[in-house]
Structure 1
């Protein structure tokens, strides 16, 4: 599927299966989301630009690669997106963090924004949006529009699960935003939940209903 990367690494798929299990504890779910976030981060940052610099090892001097340009921005969509954040910051500790507070109205399924905070120069950085579930894509579309309003143009979206309906909507609305996911599930049910899915990621993370 154009613009969509399914991360089929065995460890990603194994951890996703553990997370789908309805008997998984809140602690276990949260830990697995952290771990799988780190693994997904490897994939979404695979093509970051490098520059060569002169360094001195204990034995000699050499030209060695390091990341080029400004530090990237992780932008979790609250609240479930924060489940990815710690694992990704473990991998890229110098990254900046933006927070986008959006919730899905249970009656209309429309996205409602309640909080936004981002680095002042976000327009000059790669922004990686984080949300475990790409279901209707209402929250994802709203988050992309919000971050674009601040001038961001290099945006990627990372999720754990995606529904075909959500992929279609996000790609049609923002074809410049590429998607990384661990799996594309069957469909959405009448309540906008991904099937077979894993339930509400935020509730399972925090033990709420």
Structure 2
């Protein structure tokens, strides 16, 4: 059997690059549309029109709309949880393996809040993840219910940081902190701004993280 002709190899490589580019266009367009308009209101035709690709591209690259949703969800949650794990690891290194409660909570809270920054590049991804919690497919709900491995490292760290607290209390307080994180949506900020007559308009991401940490740390202080 003769070796492939260089021109054939070039063609194959170009085709692979083209297919990868198309897949990325579909992924980005779908994430943006789902984040802004909701999961149910966006059709496969909407996605391919936004991406400027063939109508069959969604099924070819992702099998179905639901599979595309799950792929976006898994990729973005993995990225977010890697950022959290990295911060927690850095906190452990900085405190000889025993990070204090505030450092643990900062590793949990800061990454998603920084994604929320309107001036940043990850806002659409976080908006998608917020949608996923309320509009997600059954596969997404199963992941949210059952995959707690990324949270285990935080519960273990908090148990070590507060050995004087009953384990049940640590888990409940972590649960309440997660509720605070998940409630940080623009609609909630707008409502708070109305309630406070404009005092609480929050456009400083780091200040918002500090406020959230002050509140969360106080929840573990007694």
TM-score by length of 2: 0.29
**Structure with larger Rg:** 2
> More strand by proportion, 1 or 2?
1
> More helix by proportion, 1 or 2?
2
